[in-house]
A = this chain, B = another copy of it.
Amino acid sequence: MGAVKNKRMPRAVREQQMLDAAVHTFGQRGYRAASMDEIAELAGVSKPLVYLYLNSKEDLFTACIRREAKALTAAVRAGVRPGLPADRQLWDGLTAFFTHTAQNPDAWSVLHLQARTHGEPFAAEVTAMREEIVAFVTQLIVVAARAAHRNPSLPEREVAGLAEALVGAAESLAAWANTAPGVSAKQAAATLMNFAWAGLGDLMEGRPWAPSA
């Protein structure tokens, strides 16, 4: 933070500095409470330069959301090996997800809280990202269901709901893992896999889910 005032840097670099500052400020204060003054100062530049590069507060916020949404989905994708069994893919994806959100709390605040709190230009950006993830999870469930042979046709809406629930639980656990002291990404992922894959019923019968590899 408080970046040293390096004069005359190439535009691309300056822009990233500004986005860093903006993500931090938006994440901490929220969209409305964050002031362009504060962002400019944190980025170590003058306000007119922020406007020259990023155009407006709205555009700046949108740019933050896009960059961080891309970063998050990239992190999750990078954690998953497509060939492996569905539950393993899910486990890997969740681990990557919890790791990334723990390491980028401001970014996660922007995506999960701030962007959804303010009307339409922004919510849509996040919705797009979320849909991508839900689609990924949905497909995992479908594949797994087919592999299990027995119940080939979980109705589509049902699957959509399940994926939604799983993602929602993950989002919620991200906040929990960041707050409760000493909860690691792996622990959060394990908790969720137990919950989602085995189900409370199985758990209580003494049949938890366990990573296959």
Interface residues of A (CB under 8 A from B): 29-33, 113-114, 116-119, 141, 144-145, 148, 150-151, 154, 157-158, 160-162, 164-173, 175-176, 180, 183, 187-188, 191-192, 194-206, 209
Contact = CB atoms under 8 A, between A and B. Distances in A.
A151 B37 CA distance: 57
A86 to B, nearest CB: 9
Give the copy number: 4
B173 A172 contact: no
Q: Is the interface of A mostly helix, strand, loop or mixed?
A: helix
Contact of A188 (B144, B161, B166): B161
Contacts of A164: 172-173, 176
Contacts of A204: 141, 144-145, 148, 150-151, 154
Contacts of A160: 180
